[in-house]
Structure 1
Amino acid sequence: MTQSDKQPEKTWTIEDAERVYGVSSWGGGYFEIGENGNIHVIPEPRMNDVRIDMKAVIDEIREENIQFPVVVRFHDVLRSQVITLNETFREIISEASYQGKYRGVYPIKVNQMREVVEEIVDAGQPYDYGLEAGSKPELLAVLAMNTNLNALTILNGYKDEEFLKLALLGRKLGRKVVVVIEKFSELTMLIKVSKQLDIAPIIGLRAKMQSKGQGRWQGSSGERAKFGLNVSEIIKAARLLEKEGMSDTLKLLHFHIGSQLPEIRAIKDAVNESARIYAELVKMGFALEYVDVGGGLGIDYDGSKSTADSSRNYSVREYVADVVYGMREVCDLEGVPHPNIVTESGRAITAHHSCVITEVVGEIKPDGAQIDTAAGEDDHILLKNMRDLADHLSGELNFQEVYNDATQYKEQASDAFKLRVIGLEELGKIETLYWQIMRKVKHFYRNADFVPEEVQSLDFSLSSQYLCNFSIFQSAVDSWAIDQILPVVPITNLHTPPVNDGSLVDITCDSDGKIDKFVIEHAIDHVLPMPAFSKDEPFYLGLFLTGAYQDVMGDMHNLFGRLNEVHIFSYDDDPQDFYIEEFVKGSSVEHVLSVMQYHPSSMAIDIKKYIDKEVAAGNIKPREGVKWTDFYEHCLAGYTYLNTES
């Protein structure tokens, strides 16, 4: 039952809205429900005097004639996450009297957008915060972006000779570029290339850990991991470097046990194992300086603070403390220097800074159009029975029995229609009466202590599907591909009680283009409680925590392409506490067609020829032909998504 069904008499408060939507639980301190019922953004929780009303952001976007859907980026949130991670490591390192430093890197695969990487590099400058690349194109971008000579550039992924030469170019430019060896043959190739060019590399070895991660990506770790060297290969690699007179180039030990780790114990186990490997290599005579604990720092998508795949049972501070103290403990026991600690946190840095704002453009009700169900002389007995059931509903009845009878009549009517016993109009009347009965059954049980299991399903069966102007496959691909939970919340009117339940469907022609899993009251529900809104006023929903992967993994399904983007910066002196710093135009129709090897200019010429032919034949008037030609070209240049303002 929806919240409105359970407690219709209770005065609805902001606290009720918070309990239902859990904004502060998954918001990481950056999002809350304001007293006016709108979602507010706190760009820097440590200085929470600045609050941005997202309704004001939407209003300004509309004033600027920017079409929805849009990606909204809060750059201050991005900076805040970089600062928080680095400051936390500094505090814990000082508290623990740890002798090494923190030298984190941001893996750009999580979000390679130039504006995102630039902001991270700038915010990380005082901390010598670096970048990680896992492919040749990413390396080309990172070499241009990561100009801090004290910051690390970590290179993961499989490598060819060209990739290695680019890495050595970075060394020639004075950068701390670390080539992480993923398979043994890469090391022999790197030794050859570095000697040919007479450039000393910085080498890291990636270990296949016995420790395994937990959660959705646990299969990426362990002995069957795609990347890395087992213990014997690590020893063989170290001895080869020794033989080649390159022992001093081995500086880093790397491991990775999975993304979005929900359980802190997995991190503790991996740190302990990696520290032991590091200590043994140091005792073998290799002066390693860094241990890279990889990625895995999760975020709490569902706000449950649990070991569920979409959550985590630890804080950032607890994560950092376990890494620092765990490394210190083993190193002290083994009598080796404390290494500099590297992490490759991407999801935790970027997820909160970006959200997708989409407009609800339609409602698909389960009971469809209501038709006249007045009695007729020749009504079939099934229709009479259903009408009699609908006309005599009262609190004295057994509503479980009513539910059962109505369901049976509807099933019998469907069979009767297939056998040509009743006609289409009678079937339509029976369906109309059935849905009327089901709504009354649901209403009856709204305050009941016990609700039969089959009646509980009416919440979903009677819920609407809200048609939203966006593509799941472009903007929330993980929700479709791996059932990732992304918080979805109405932007406004949360100070009013929910009046209906619904799931979301997008504007693609694919039946999978839907979201029907939501974080409601710290649990996963199949319907989203919706506050009242007028069909005469635009109503917007926000898909939050989309800054990690969703921005860059979307596909071209139905040729919808990239969304319009607005970049928001906080500004305390502004009446609204923000300004739009940049608008990045999304994909035009001609752009997505060009990507798929169409030629829009030729298409426009061809259409004009066809129109001119019809004009010459007298089927289209000349002035009308010009308008149709202009309209076709206008559509080619336009946004790929629905224009709700027209």
Structure 2
Amino acid sequence: MNTKYIDLVNQTFDFPQPEFKLENKTLEFHDVNLMQLVEQYGAPLKFTYLPQISNNINRAKQWFADAIKKNNYKGKYNYCYCTKSSHFKHVLDEALKNDIHIETSSAFDIDIVERLKAEGKITDQTFVISNGFKRAQYVTNIARLINNGHKNAIPIIDNYEEIDLLSAEVKGKFNVGIRIASEEDPKFEFYTSRLGIGYKNIVPFYKNQIQNNEKVELKMLHFFINTGIRDNAYYWNELAKCLKVYTSLKKICPSLDSLNIGGGFPIKNSLVFDFDYTYMVDEIVNQIKLVCEEEDVDVPNIFTEFGSFTVGESGGAIYEILYQKQQNDREKWNMINSSFITTLPDTWAINKRFIMLPINRWNDSYERVLLGGLTCDSDDYYNSEQHINAIYLPKYNKEKPLYIGFFNTGAYQETIGGFGGLQHCLIPSPKHILIDKNAEGNITTTLFSEQQKSEDLLKILGYNQATQPNSDSTKEASELTEILNN
């Protein structure tokens, strides 16, 4: 009878998979021995497998190169990394090894760009696409970047005032893009995105503020929908409307030469994940070409802004099962030694699912469980994966520690969780490990950050040494007490 956890996996999924395999009865992720990682650094811990960032960038670049060749497409393709997915220096350093460009979202992003320029990792030829609603500091920083010679900086206009705000601070001529305020998915609570300018208003906006403005040149139209790139009627309908705007604008604006289709490539969230990236890229390129040919305009250069796709599949988190609580005759709670709310906030905030697998004990029998975090919050749990209605893990045994891993968690979790800051119920942030390969192809690990300590959190809360009595004050108080007692 097949009662081992490995039997369950083999019956349910195609396993092993390119990034997952068993070696000596324990799980490996991209040939990284995860139990050795636990033995060296302990758990809970988070890790970033840096080579996967370059792997995904080059996969996407190849898909677009193949589609451009197949369709005899005359425009170029530019891969931009959406920095808000993960601003960490080790992420940007790895991504920028691959001849890519940058998309920014706020004022401090520009400070990061300037640091990277100073290190020679970004040049004036690197496109810096600046999205978002631009407050005063963001405008000032973009203007500084342009004024210092970065001519490939392209602020994407989000509202009607930004042309004037930028013109007041940029010295000389500068390029801009316009973001389309796309119509949202019918399931959304509102009809039109708050970001950008409405479809019907873009051509009038160009005529009123840009066409006769000698200081401003329109180079890019920006299109993105929140649900991302999906093979469904909604996506193709919105892309068609975007292309209609592009061709209308191109006929009256010769300088317009680029179409930014944003980000939104999905990442692997289960062992049965199936997304035909090659088909989607080919069809997007084909649709752009067909519409431009029908309207007799030149095809645009294509830009993408992949964030989660770039960094998501590089990340993981490992926890130990501390204890099992049987709360009734059906529900068994396996308690992890951390918190889902603080370390994987998307599982709590938007019910996001990640790949979850045990690290060890694959040859043990299994049971159905729920997973609970350490906070005093009823929402601190994880009860299902994308592809099944329950979680099955090797049976709890207090004599045999069980470790579990969550994979492809590399995008957004640290920034949303507030890396280095306060955590719900003061549960400390775990250690974070960077995993790389050296010139010989051997795995290397580096400790990026230690687990938070009590004093780290107390300092943020104001309980620092400056608020505590010093030794002299303590001595004076003791002397006074002695005098009063006598």
Cα deviation, residue 291, structure 1: 0.5
Partner Cα separation in structure 1 for residue 281 and residue 186 of structure 2? 18
User: 1:192–1:164: structure 2 CA closer, same or farther, 3 Å change rule?
Assistant: same
- TM-score under structure 1 normalisation? 0.67
Cα deviation, residue 511, structure 1: 2.3
Structure holding more helix per residue: 1
Which of the numbers 531, 534, 554 marks the counterpart of 2:394?
A: 531
Cα deviation, residue 35, structure 1: 5.2
Which of the numbers 480, 498, 503 marks the counterpart of 2:370?
A: 503
SS in 2 for 1:257: coil
Partner Cα separation in structure 1 for residue 95 and residue 280 of structure 2? 21
The aligned residue for residue 206 of structure 1 is 179
Which of the numbers 260, 264, 267 marks the counterpart of 2:235?
A: 267
Within-5 A mapping of 1:120-135? 120-122=95-97, 124-125=98-99, 129-135=100-106
SS in 1 for 2:290: helix
The aligned residue for residue 416 of structure 1 is none
Partner Cα separation in structure 1 for residue 74 and residue 336 of structure 2? 53
The aligned residue for residue 277 of structure 2 is 316
2:316 is aligned with 1:347? no
Q: Specify the code of the residue in structure 1 equivalent to 2:148.
A: L
**Cα deviations by residue, 1:387-437 (Å, 9 ceiling, x for unpaired):** xxxxxxxxxxxxxxxxxxxxxxxxxxxxxxxxxxxxxxxxxxxxxxxxxxx
The aligned residue for residue 372 of structure 1 is none
The aligned residue for residue 39 of structure 1 is 27
The aligned residue for residue 348 of structure 2 is 480
Partner Cα separation in structure 1 for residue 374 and residue 469 of structure 2? 25
The aligned residue for residue 161 of structure 2 is 185
Identical-pair percentage: 20
Partner Cα separation in structure 2 for residue 609 and residue 540 of structure 1? 47
**Cα deviations by residue, 1:28-73 (Å, 9 ceiling, x for unpaired):** x42x23154322222xxxxxxxx22222222332xxxxx4211111
The aligned residue for residue 513 of structure 1 is 380
Cα deviation, residue 537, structure 1: 4.1
Q: Specify the code of the residue in structure 1 equivalent to 2:157.
A: I
Q: Is the 8 A contact 1:37 1:496 kept in 2?
A: no
Cα deviation, residue 299, structure 1: 2.2
Partner Cα separation in structure 2 for residue 219 and residue 144 of structure 1? 40
Partner Cα separation in structure 2 for residue 86 and residue 595 of structure 1? 43
2:339 is aligned with 1:471? yes
Cα deviation, residue 512, structure 1: 1.9
Partner Cα separation in structure 1 for residue 270 and residue 153 of structure 2? 37
Q: Is the 8 A contact 1:181 1:187 kept in 2?
A: yes
Gaps of 5+ in 2: none
SS in 2 for 1:253: strand
The aligned residue for residue 430 of structure 2 is 563
2:403 is aligned with 1:540? yes
Partner Cα separation in structure 2 for residue 295 and residue 225 of structure 1? 15
Partner Cα separation in structure 2 for residue 592 and residue 94 of structure 1? 55
The aligned residue for residue 292 of structure 1 is 260
2:227 is aligned with 1:251? no
User: 1:284–1:486: structure 2 CA closer, same or farther, 3 Å change rule?
Assistant: same
2:21 is aligned with 1:52? no
SS in 2 for 1:99: coil
Partner Cα separation in structure 1 for residue 179 and residue 74 of structure 2? 23
User: 1:152–1:214: structure 2 CA closer, same or farther, 3 Å change rule?
Assistant: farther
Partner Cα separation in structure 1 for residue 397 and residue 235 of structure 2? 49
User: 1:71–1:512: structure 2 CA closer, same or farther, 3 Å change rule?
Assistant: same
**Cα deviations by residue, 1:252-277 (Å, 9 ceiling, x for unpaired):** 00011114555444333333222221
Bigger Rg over Cα: 1
Paired residues, what number? 468
Partner Cα separation in structure 2 for residue 214 and residue 262 of structure 1? 15
Cα deviation, residue 141, structure 1: 1.6
Q: Is the 8 A contact 1:33 1:39 kept in 2?
A: yes
Partner Cα separation in structure 2 for residue 261 and residue 285 of structure 1? 28
Q: Is the 8 A contact 1:36 1:495 kept in 2?
A: no
Cα deviation, residue 361, structure 1: 1.3
User: 1:214–1:294: structure 2 CA closer, same or farther, 3 Å change rule?
Assistant: farther
Which of the numbers 68, 76, 84 marks the counterpart of 2:59?
A: 84
Cα deviation, residue 533, structure 1: 5.7
Which of the numbers 107, 129, 149 marks the counterpart of 1:136?
A: 107
**Cα deviations by residue, 1:101-122 (Å, 9 ceiling, x for unpaired):** 1112111111122221221122
Q: Is the 8 A contact 1:168 1:201 kept in 2?
A: no
User: 1:564–1:105: structure 2 CA closer, same or farther, 3 Å change rule?
Assistant: same
- TM-score under structure 2 normalisation? 0.87
SS in 2 for 1:33: strand
SS in 1 for 2:414: helix
User: 1:561–1:186: structure 2 CA closer, same or farther, 3 Å change rule?
Assistant: farther
2:85 is aligned with 1:110? yes
User: 1:480–1:336: structure 2 CA closer, same or farther, 3 Å change rule?
Assistant: same
Gaps of 5+ in 1: 1-8, 43-50, 62-66, 306-312, 368-460, 618-646
SS in 2 for 1:207: strand
Partner Cα separation in structure 1 for residue 186 and residue 428 of structure 2? 34
Q: Specify the code of the residue in structure 1 equivalent to 2:407.
A: F
Partner Cα separation in structure 1 for residue 333 and residue 474 of structure 2? 42
